[in-house]
Amino acid sequence: MKYFLYLSLPLFALDQLTKGWIVANFPDPREGVFRVINVIPDFFNIVRVHNTGMAFGLLNGNPYANYLFTAIGVTALTIIAVLWRKGAFPDKITKTAAALLIAGILGNFTDRILPGRGYVVDFLDFILPLYGHFPSFNVADSCICIAAGLLIYSAFVGAREEAKANKAKEG
């Protein structure tokens, strides 16, 4: 519960506050008017982008995307809750990852179900050398990506520790 209160909840709030600020201060891109705040020239901008799809804009604009990703979000939250209760997140790294996943999933889920919204607000726009504009993202997306990285790291660390334990038993 402390991971939810001290990590998931504040990050969810930060996600919603930043998206709310973007919606209140940037024109709706569907109206053909765009605003860009150039924070670091040729590297980082703040923009307003609507995404009804998923990462990298996949399925963006599909009329069923919000239903699909809402269902996926609810399913993922349910699975995380069940796994948490079964002790599937035994250490700080995996518990942190689960808490980040909860914050990210709830943040984007909330965008999809808000009245008058029906899209995820993305606003962090990076321009990468040799790539160009990286797809815009938000705090919730960042939480999900960091959680994925932590889970991958944990899998490798856990496998390494298990191999050491097995080697010690054999030797």
Residues belonging to the active site:
122, 141
Contact between 16 and 103 (Cβ < 8 Å): no
Contact between 111 and 119 (Cβ < 8 Å): yes
DSSP bridge partners of 40: 44
Cα separation, 70 vs 140, in Å, equals 14
Cα separation, 122 vs 48, in Å, equals 6
- 133's enclosing H/E stretch is strand 132-133
DSSP secondary structure string for all residues of 95-114: HHHHHHHHHHHHHHHHHHHS
Cα separation, 91 vs 111, in Å, equals 31
